[in-house]
Structure 1
């Protein structure tokens, strides 16, 4: 489990980050947050879905990286097999705690991350206790992600209000003839998309959302890659096929 502490030069001046060990952190993420600005690029690597936040208050975009909680088939033996690493991964082992109005409040560090070291890797602070160039770059990535998350929230709200989200269940068919239904995901409502007015299409296109929606739809084909990687990593639970059905919940 992560153990986050407020980052400070006094408490963490001796810590270093071994980036080569960050991939093992990813192994427990079966869903990865994807922001609107990176959805098109991520769609060439992962199947993308809509999912509700932990508090179930708003929609986000998620890359499906595993077929069970705490299983990420894109990570194996400390190696990241994806061609693209989302912002949600590249900012690790740091996160930002936001203030009441969504403003960046403080940077937190996961001191239990496998990338944390005191001997190898990138230093966080200089002897003067000023941030190193490495930490400055991480902070810029964190700022970029906060801005991207705010943009995603606004655009996902519009997509939802336009009725373009369709809840689905994944039916996982295993090679031993058993099956499992997985809920909590959604995809683009194709019928609603096809029936949009010219003005609605123009509005989505102007905001760059039309391209995002089509790429999310196309990314479903990446489920076949997830199956291949799953069967390699978990041969004792080999999957034969994954189907999609309208959610029953």
Structure 2
């Protein structure tokens, strides 16, 4: 998360959004964060994984959009190439921001360094009366709904962790020229553990609405084939022959 500035019509009435800058940013994201409520739809297009925040240890869901760092295979020639677009793209470069010294109070923050913002060009965020533009109103509404989504996402990840349903994965990328690469830090659902859960626990998961995103994550693994095809269709790229998944081994001292 970048350093955020709280958006104010008084201080930022000249600020403009550059749509091409939003896509330019997305083009460099190989992982895009998801809300829990987005998992089922995202799984139709992307592999969906869990990963830990290195700073605070919190779990987050992400759509895997690329095999190489800073390369999104779903952005081609400046255009988004999937029916589903995560809200993290739709609302960029704006974020839900906890207000200083106001517990549980949120505002709209923005990344002042973003290439999607300018005072010289683009679509104005505020009109002459300093009222929010239709685009900013839509973004603000989406971010407002994220307050509940944050709680839902946290509750789901906590449940998965408590039930030991999170499994660490390494992805071994095998190229046709013999080169290999390994992607670490990804986690998925432990299907064997899921099958072994007592019936009453599964009922509780279903009643909470958790079984749908859980099964969607498991099925989304097959979207790795789509990533291979998209990568191999790019000119000048070493083709990938396969991606092998392996349960991560814990680090041991020599």
TM-score scaled by length of structure 2 = 0.89
The 2-side partners of 1:49 and 1:234 are apart by 28
Which residue of the partner structure matches residue 80 of structure 2? 80
The 1-side partners of 2:153 and 2:16 are apart by 32
Which residue of the partner structure matches residue 16 of structure 2? 16
- Which stretch has the larger CA shift, 101-110 or 234-243? 101-110
Give structure 1 stretches of 5+ with no counterpart.
none
The 2-side partners of 1:53 and 1:199 are apart by 31
Which residue of the partner structure matches residue 45 of structure 1? 45
The 1-side partners of 2:246 and 2:227 are apart by 18
Which residue of the partner structure matches residue 59 of structure 1? 59
Which residue of the partner structure matches residue 156 of structure 1? 157
SS of the aligned residue for 1:28 comes to: coil
The 1-side partners of 2:19 and 2:241 are apart by 35
The offset of 1:4, in angstroms, is: 4.2
Q: Would the aligned equivalents of 1:30 and 1:70 in 2 still touch at CA under 8 Å? A: yes
The 1-side partners of 2:111 and 2:237 are apart by 33
The offset of 1:20, in angstroms, is: 4.5
TM-score scaled by length of structure 1 = 0.91
Q: In the comparison of the two structures, how many residue pairs are matched?
A: 249
The 2-side partners of 1:133 and 1:45 are apart by 28
- Structure 1 runs (4+) deviating above 6 angstroms are none
Give structure 2 stretches of 5+ with no counterpart.
none
More helix by share: 1
Q: For each residue in 1:191-213, what CA deviation from the matched residue of structure 2 results, as whole angstroms up to 9, or x when unmatched?
A: 11111111011001111111111
The offset of 1:131, in angstroms, is: 2.1
The offset of 1:216, in angstroms, is: 0.6
The offset of 1:56, in angstroms, is: 5.1
Q: For each residue in 1:67-110, what CA deviation from the matched residue of structure 2 results, as whole angstroms up to 9, or x when unmatched?
A: 22212111122111121111111111111222578734332223
Which residue of the partner structure matches residue 229 of structure 1? 230
Q: Would the aligned equivalents of 1:35 and 1:148 in 2 still touch at CA under 8 Å? A: yes
**Is 2:84 aligned against 1:106?**
no
RMSD: 2.2
The 2-side partners of 1:9 and 1:176 are apart by 55
| CA 2–209 in structure 1, closer or farther in 2 if over 3 Å, else same | closer
